Chain A
Amino acid sequence: MAQFDLNDDSLVVIIGSGAGGGTLGNELAQKGVKVVILEAGDRYESADFVNDEWASFAQLAWKDMRTTSGTWRVGKDFPNLPAWIVKAVGGSTVHWAGASLRFEEYEFKIRSTYGALPGANLLDWPISLAELAPYYAKAEDKMGVTRTNGIPGLPGNNNFRVMAAGAKKVGYKEVHTGRMAINSQPRDGRGSCQQIGFCFQGCKSGAKWSTLYTEIPKGEDTGNLEVRPNSHVVKIEQDAAGKVTGVVYASPDGAMHRQKARVVAVAGNSIESPRLLLNSASNLFPDGLANSSGQVGRNYMRHMTGNVYGIFEKPVHMYRGTTMAGIIRDESRNDPKRGFVGGYEMETISLGIPFMAAFMDPGAWGRSFTSAMDGYSNMAGMWLIGEDMPRETNRVTLDPAAKDKLGMPVASVHYDDHPNDIAMRAHAVQQGSAIYSAVGATRLIPTPPYPSTHNMGTNRMSEKPRDGVINKFGQTHDIKNLFVSDGSQFTSGAACNPTLTIVSLAIRQADNIARMMEQREI
């Protein structure tokens, strides 16, 4: 395994080892580029994971202080936990469920397709589906996505079978067990899904793709990649000419280290990445690094989300098997006749008793709540996820008062639902309810959004430097050798889960960083 010197200024330094950072690191290493990934969290392996919701949360989740404001319900229910993100090697690909869908063509062009929506800051991506399609194909192959590359779909569990039966009765057509980065048969040295049912807690069988045990060890095997866990970057440094020169990071004992770099790529997820840029303000960039547009931290997206659980006369045992066990895609289209632009997906979800109690209706108590809990074994559940509207005022800023234990201002997340999000949620809840009612639900439980798992948009891509933070390669408009490589690149969020797109962008970015380095552009 490689070990690089702190003063080695020929390196690409990547901040974060999740979907974006872990993939970029491996791709560059495969091309012979020397890379250090600095990861704030610790390194765990599959054997360390626990099938226990709170214990796993304590082990893996990002629990450092964050603050919130805005009218979103998450801000009221979880004022210091706006997002559910992993702080460990592998990032949120340790927790993720594996749903891997491509954007539709129109979803790269929402300003052209939806028009100018009041109260929203819509913009077309500077790239099209055609440009990303070859990289989607590479990502699907890399991640072993079911229903691509001749890989069969996963078998449907009880939770899926309830949803599918209801969907059929309601008249939905595109209903299946999803495109999942979970092995339905052994592939790439990993076994097939054992239907363990703790996908959110780290897959103990390794059937689910995670950069932790795919990209990262593959990159390390080349001798070109070093992953440094427990290395929390607090600042990106810049020289007088405006180039970034390296980063300062803290080890767990609080000691600071300076790692030099030729190129820096930020991939700390859409809350920490803008926070780091804002905390790295310099003489040249008093409002935050690479923030001449003022867009760093803005246009924060988290998807329109919500859930419907149905209770039935007979048992379901929804927790058995894959958490996201299937999908209904019929509503994932732009049909403004429904009363909103953009679309949404319906995907099964299941929580265990501990998380169900905490997230079913935060703040609730009494018999209405407990009798719903008593119906747990007869419950089926679906998650509703759709495109939310980017708004300038939905943003990550530095909290004026709260600081983390390293003395750095924490991220404050402001979010207000756009009327479009509210209309879409109402529609989705109504459709979800119809599905479970069609197969005999005796009680419907529409539950509010959970802390954000899909965080996007806070360093968005734009054609013109004034509209966003980065160009079509993820390179900041302001600083040539500074890149953004995670979900914060998203110009818009689409109806579907983001990770396949993050991975595709990272593969594409690796090609371009390697090219620019070779041509001495950076």
Chain B
Amino acid sequence: MREIDRRTQFSRRGFLRTTGAAVPAAAIAGTSISAGAAWAQDAKAIAPHAMATLVKAARDIFPHDHIGDVFYVRAVTPWDAKAGKDDAHKAMVTEGIARLDADAQDAHASPYLSVAWESDRVALLRGIEHTKFFKTLRADLVVSLYNQPEIWPKFGYEGSSAEYGGYLARGFDDINWLPTA
């Protein structure tokens, strides 16, 4: 069977379509999610700590260990521009993060970002699952995370195929492990 190269390839198209403010991959690769990161510092309407918490929550909502932080950052970055234009959105983010941090303080005596185990953070997210903040974040992410063409190969999905002549000569029927009757 024709397998797929799953290594990340950054295409210019991906940069242009997935984020308003392009986040260079090199600026993120290897760094952890923290308020000190350049992308968090660069946010204008959302405070760096809140920005970093959003990204962490994004990863905890849709955790894919084979997908780098950069893609979660890109998925969330448009929220900063939106908050800049829309006070209600900004308030929702500020209050949502404050609530998450307050819950984290109660349970673990630390802000959400510093709660070490994913399972503990997930329990905190379950606690706010019914809120507009959580629902909006999840609903946005399911598009803004998975609609990034650079991550498709990591799932073994090849995307657009017409320009390669479809799959007629590229393995549409190349399965080789089925029981032969």
Contact = CB atoms under 8 A, between A and B. Distances in A.
Interface of A: 50-52, 54, 155-158, 161-162, 165, 168-169, 193-198, 204-205, 314-317, 319-321, 352-354, 356-358, 363, 365-367, 369-370, 373-374, 376-378, 439
A315 B158 CA distance: 13
Contacts of A439: 178-179
Contacts of B3: 315
Contacts, number: 129
Nearest to B147: A354
A181 B79 CA distance: 44
Contacts of B155: 353, 373-374, 376-377
Interface in B88-120: none
Interface stretch (B19-27, B30-38, B45-53, B161-169): B161-169
A370 B156 contact: no
A contact patch SS: loop
A317 B61 contact: no
Contacts of A156: 173
A195 to B, nearest CB: 4
Contact of A197 (B61, B122, B151, B161): B161
A158 B166 contact: no
Contacts of B125: 365
A319 B170 CA distance: 12
A154 B34 CA distance: 53
Contact of B157 (A161, A204, A376): A376
Contact of B175 (A158, A204, A319, A358): A158
Contacts of B64: 370, 373-374
B146 A357 contact: yes
B162 A198 contact: yes
A357 B158 CA distance: 15
A10 B60 CA distance: 64
B159 A352 contact: yes
A313 to B, nearest CB: 8
B1 interface: yes
B5 interface: no
Nearest to B165: A194
B10 interface: no
A264 to B, nearest CB: 38
Nearest to B168: A195
A314 B177 contact: yes
A317 B156 CA distance: 8
Q: Which 5 A-B pairs have the closest CB atoms?
A: A377-B156, A194-B166, A51-B160, A321-B172, A196-B166
B16 interface: no
18 contacts: A51-B161, A162-B178, A165-B178, A168-B181, A169-B179, A193-B168, A194-B168, A195-B167, A196-B167, A197-B172, A205-B166, A315-B1, A315-B3, A315-B175, A317-B2, A319-B158, A357-B143, A363-B138
A314 to B, nearest CB: 5
Given A194-B168, A353-B151, 19 more contacts: A51-B160, A51-B163, A54-B147, A162-B175, A196-B161, A197-B166, A198-B161, A314-B1, A315-B156, A315-B175, A317-B156, A319-B158, A321-B168, A354-B143, A358-B143, A365-B125, A366-B61, A370-B62, A370-B64
Given A158-B175, A165-B178, A439-B179, A366 B143 contact: no
B68 to A, nearest CB: 15
A52 B13 CA distance: 13
B178 A196 contact: no
A320 B167 contact: yes
B160 A52 contact: yes
Contacts of A165: 178-179, 181
Contact of B61 (A155, A161, A321, A365): A365
B175 A316 contact: yes
A410 B159 CA distance: 35
B151, B161, B166: residue with the most chain A Cβ atoms closer than 10 Å: B166
Contacts of A193: 166, 168
Contacts of B143: 54, 354, 357-358
Contacts of B2: 317
A287 B66 CA distance: 58
Contacts of A195: 166-168, 172
Given A161-B175, A315-B156, A376-B157, A321 B167 contact: yes
Interface in B56-85: 61-64, 66
A32 B174 CA distance: 50
Given A353-B146, A354-B143, A377-B4, A161 B178 contact: yes
